[in-house]
Amino acid sequence: MEKKNLDWANLSFAYMKTDYRYVANYTKAAGKWDEGGLTTDDKVVMSECAGVLQYSQSVFEGLKAYTTKKGEIVCFRPDLNGQRMYDSAQRLEIPPFPVDRFVEAVKEVVKADEAWVPPYGTGATLYIRPYVFGISPVIGVKPADDYQFRILTTPVGPYFKGGAKPIYVRITDYDRAAPHGTGNIKAGLNYAMSLKAIMEAHRLGFAENIYLDAATRTKIEETGGANILFVDQDNTLVVPKSDSILPSITRRSLVYVAQHYLGMKVDERPVYFKEVKDGNFKECGLCGTAAVISPIGKINDHGTDINIASGMEKMGPWMTKLRETLLGIQEGEIEAPEGWICHIC
Ligand SMILES: *Cc1c(COP(=O)(O)O)cnc(C)c1O
């Protein structure tokens, strides 16, 4: 199999059409998902009144396939993406796509798009985007009758070009998720309403928004697309806990790595913004599939800077260890816990 002729190390995080995608359809008439399969057709044709277009009935996932040092193509814990998409779908009255079929579909499409999986050592990956949406017409507010599940793939470049530099973020006055709302599911609707906040933040020179809990505005939640981690003065990994935070697979994996590989104590609990202002944390970072960990050096609170001790020059020692250990596990250089690495080809 010949790889595509791309400048892998310089790809950005942008959509590029690959050869194959996976499609399955659910109809209310059949009462189940059809057998699905690969297609080269990148176009979706649907009613002008489709449920996704009128009432945003859609959920999605994001994971990556990459080449290990040994030359194998793998992905990381796709079963957890499948389960999270199943849970997200149920919250929006979308018929859930079975988790085992999700994993098989990911493998099938990555195998078909093998020529697009970046070679080892480039830092690039094949980003995999599974999604489900209401495709049949809906005008009175109700769930659609019919749905489409798709997986597209697109090669993306390394998240950090030239080292993981700490970022400067702000506390935002916008709210991301209400208690008992949809903050804990991966749905486009959570992103649509974050766009104004992120564009404002960028215009003001901040990389991201930190959202506080909507009910009391005293607790740290997460950013628009990544969970937050802290290291306190006793070297404990402190992880904000709330029902309105999206359950990041990277965060859950890092918690395991901290406990079982690095011997760190982990405290998952509500984290008050006051603790951050009081300087209780010496390191802080964002975590998600794309960057694994992105260090935070400084937080702006309505004009006042809160400096994290690890600073704006480089990632702190614990965040570095966490990131390098998880990357080592993903790349096959450190032995992975059972079931974490899914071999594709
Ligand atoms: C996807 C996402 C994350 C990160 O989850 P991973 O599974 O680690 O990629 C965090 N927060 C939000 C809001 C997300 O949508």
Structure tokens given for 123: 């830092």
110-147: pLDDT as tens digits: 999 999 999 999 999 999 999 999 999 999 999 999 99
Residue 60 CA to ligand 1 centre (angstroms): 11
Bridge partners (DSSP) listed for residue 283? 231
Conformational region of residue 40, where left means phi above 0, alpha means psi within -120 to 50, and beta covers everything else: alpha
- Has domain 167-330 been given CATH number 3.20.10.10? yes
Alpha-carbon gap, residue 298 to 260, rounded angstroms: 29
Q: Give me the pLDDT at residue 159, please.
A: 84
Q: Which of 217, 215, 225 is nearest to 169 (CA)?
A: 225
13-62: pLDDT as tens digits: 999 999 999 999 999 999 999 999 999 999 999 999 999 999 999 999 99
Structure tokens given for 57: 């009935």
- If one residue of 63, 193, 194, 246 were mutated to test the ligand 1 pocket, choosing by the most ligand atoms within 8 A of its CB, it would be 246
CB-count exposure of residue 105 (10 Å: 0-12, 13-18, 19+): buried
CATH class of 8-156: alpha beta
308-321: pLDDT as tens digits: 999 999 999 999 99
Which residues approach ligand 1 with their CB closer than 6 A? 62, 186, 222, 225-227, 246, 248-251, 288-289
Domain residue spans of the chain: 8-156, 167-330
Bridge partners (DSSP) listed for residue 128? 63, 153
Residue 118, CB half-sphere, CA atoms under 13 Å: how many? Answer: 25
Tell me whether strands 209-210 and 32-33 are parallel, antiparallel or unpaired.
Answer: unpaired
Closest ligand 1 atom, residue 289 Cα: 9
Structure tokens given for 236: 């404990």
177-211: pLDDT as tens digits: 999 999 999 999 999 999 999 999 999 999 999 99
Give the three-class secondary structure for 82: helix
261-320: pLDDT as tens digits: 999 999 999 999 999 999 999 999 999 999 999 999 999 999 999 999 999 999 999 999
97 in Cβ contact with 29 (< 8 Å): no
Q: Give me the pLDDT at residue 158, please.
A: 86
Residue with tokens 């959202």: 211
Q: Is the pLDDT of residue 162 over 80?
A: no
Residue 287 CA to ligand 1 centre (angstroms): 8
